[in-house]
Every structure is written in structure tokens, then in C-alpha cells.
Amino acid sequence: MKGAAVLDRDTARTYAEWFRALADPTRVQILNLLAEAGTPMAVGEIVEQVSVGQSTVSAHLKVLADTGFVLVEPQGTARLYRVNEKCVSCFPSAADVVMGRGVRSFGEEAR
């Protein structure tokens, strides 16, 4: 198709990271739990809800934090996790862009 715009490489890389981060059902569960909770949660609280070990939850949280889906808040010796609303609100447009349904801008503040 002549004249079709190709998605720029940096945006494509960001979207691929987002889709990869959500390709695991446990990460989807964790993100959903944090979204439903509406308040920051400690790893132990998340472990109680998703029925996997603490090291597994911590590894999944790292992936979600690295891609920007969750934010980490140090509190004393604990780390609290919460949904990054800016990133999550941009995610649906990623699917639209990939499928050629138009570009909605997103900034680096989403990461």
C-alpha cells in the first residue's frame, strides 16, 4: 500500500515492551489487583492475592515497573507498588496504532 506511514522504531519498541510485559497471566493479575485496590500495595499483600511465591511476584513487579505499568514507592524498608495511570491510560491506543486505527500521542511521562 503506497503512502502508508510506518510506525517509528522507538514507538514500536515501546509498544512491543508493553505487550511483552502483559503476555504473562500473573502480570495481568498483578496489574489488575493493583488497579482494583486503588492504593499502593506491598509485595506480601500481592503474594496473598495471586497465589505465587514472593520471588516470582517480585520478578513480575520488576518487569511491570521497568515498562512503566507500575510505580514503586519506597516506604521505610518496604517498597509499595501502584498502577501508573499515565502508562495504563496510553496502552489501549497502542493496540489501535498497531492495527492502523490512528495515532494517539503519548509522551515519555508515561514511562
CATH of the domain at 15: 1.10.10.10
Q: How far is CA 28 from CA 6, 22, 34, 102, in A?
A: 29, 6, 10, 25
- Over its C-alpha atoms, the chain yields an Rg (Å, rounded) of 16
For residue 85, the enclosing domain spans: 9-97
Please give the tally of structural domains in the chain: 1
Q: Which amino acid, residue 1?
A: M
Q: Is residue 73 part of a domain?
A: yes
Per residue of the chain (111 residues), what is the pLDDT tens digit?
Answer: 455 677 789 888 888 888 899 899 999 999 999 999 989 999 999 999 998 999 999 999 999 999 999 999 999 999 999 999 887 666 666 666 667 776 555 454 444
Q: What is the pTM of this model?
A: 0.77
